[in-house]
Structure 1
């Protein structure tokens, strides 16, 4: 009986009572957990997809990249502060420690946000949602191979190649200075730099075993003291912008993106696993394309649609494949 109980504990239940006892807890609510995980993953993808459109709207409203970054981190900091006071020990860096928290803040803090929003001043919203998310797994694989010696498996390598081909096709008109996309190449290059920064952040966070929620809290709170520096170095136009535009950016960029999207995606990972949760990321460009058309009237060209489709296909292939050969 002891050996049967041991085998059941290892995932090979014996017939009879052990089998019922072993499987009944895990089968109690599988459908509910699955659908809740899907809802959380789709919700996070929806928020991130619309973010590019909201950033693009800031241009029309007269806000600068510094304006949006200041609003984002002030709002996120205020929302996350009560939770951080209870969770982060020591405050405000938690288990990361000061050195690691400051490094991660330098990678995804206010100046990262300024680059991201600054790209929206030059390129349509869809460019942000195709180029940055598409190239993040490519940059991550390159850095992991260069720094850690991790070689991507054949399936992932093929997916990454399709992503690069799709992004190149998508950016063809912008890089060729097509009349329909004047100056968009500047935004595209900024979005490439975003992919480099985010990939570096992701690799360091993984290597240090950082908790996603604690990282978000720490980097948001450490970003707040940097905002006056940003205001001195970059143009700030908040005093001349209508209040509805300011409230929109503060709520969406700070509260919805900075807090809600993180919570939803963390829940999706907990309920579905990291691999399944990541499969919602290719939805982001589609959400941006649809919302950009409905809210901003931005239409993607046939070349951009073809490039986007290739990039999304590559993301799906890469995410479903083994990461290391």
Structure 2
């Protein structure tokens, strides 16, 4: 789940009061909409490769479009502009972890691996790296049930990656994308832990990382290949609207709204649905069909994620 603020970090970084029981149906609808947006994101990223766009192109389109939407809110509410209560140092650190650099790595992975790999490897490994880092840095211990779920995720990712590890012709070169997705999981785990440690608000984090990423875009344009002028307007509009507006702004709004209505624990149960949405969308829109090993691995990962998200934290 790109920069956009990924779901795991949203729930960890958003200090929201207890769930509201007034409109559970609205919370469910918001959770499903966010799940749909995140699930199709990997397919849209993969489509950018087919359209001839580079990771730098998509990153530029994404943060430029998101900034246009978020700038009025930032001018109105963020003091000091554009970092708010985070402050410059913390906002810059979070931007390096979850802003333009994260997008470059994630979209870069889409050039090598099928769309479903992004939705399995990155979201699956984020809670594993987060738990490991939380123990090493803060001595936070996960309960036995959560550890069992995370172990199941590791097994599922291994099964899912079997064809890639064996060098199957249908997955030639996918290992490069898979390694990039592992890197994004590490980056996002660090981001989520720091955001939670600093008590960061999800909306303010999104605004700050988006606007500060604009400062990095000239560097991106200078050092990486750019093909914006060689691609049709339709392809450019798709990436700008989907990656920038839907993923960068709308998905965050719907997910945080679901957390407010249902609570963080229940809303997190929508996250294992993201790979299912990606698998269906990739098959229907890109004709990318998962292998039997990938289907089994996906099922194991989803089961592990569900166990991990529903497990009680130790006292």
TM-score normalised to the size of structure 1? 0.90
1:212 to 191, 202, 208: 202
Which structure's relative contact order is higher, taking Cα pairs within 8 Å and 6+ residues apart?
2
User: Which stretches of structure 1, 4 residues or more, deviate above 4 A after TM superposition?
Assistant: none
1:59 to 49, 63, 73: 49
2:263 to 260, 273, 289: 273
Query: 1:260-280: per-residue Cα shift (whole Å, max 9, x none)?
Result: 000000101111111111111
Query: 1:190-248: per-residue Cα shift (whole Å, max 9, x none)?
Result: 00111100010000000000000000001000000110001111111101011100000
Quote the Cα distance in structure 1 between the aligned partners of 2:223 and 2:270: 37
Number of residue pairs matched?
297
TM-score normalised to the size of structure 2? 0.93
Quote the Cα distance in structure 2 between the aligned partners of 1:126 and 1:118: 14
1:237 aligned residue: 227
User: What is the SS of the residue equivalent to 1:150?
Assistant: coil
1:56 Cα deviation (Å)?
A: 0.2
Paired residues for 1:1-325 under 5 Å: 30=21, 33-324=23-314
Quote the Cα distance in structure 2 between the aligned partners of 1:141 and 1:268: 24
User: What is the SS of the residue equivalent to 1:300?
Assistant: coil
1:19 aligned residue: none
User: What is the SS of the residue equivalent to 1:236?
Assistant: coil
Quote the Cα distance in structure 1 between the aligned partners of 2:54 and 2:280: 25
Instruction: Look at both structures and tell me which one has the larger radius of gyration over its CA atoms.
Output: 1
Alpha carbons 1:75, 1:251 under 8 Å: kept = yes
User: In angstroms, what is the RMSD of aligned CA positions?
Assistant: 1.1
Quote the Cα distance in structure 2 between the aligned partners of 1:322 and 1:204: 22
Quote the Cα distance in structure 1 between the aligned partners of 2:314 and 2:92: 30
Query: 1:109-166: per-residue Cα shift (whole Å, max 9, x none)?
Result: 1111010001000000000000000000001000000000011100000000000000
Quote the Cα distance in structure 2 between the aligned partners of 1:198 and 1:283: 19
Unaligned runs of 5+ in 1: 1-25
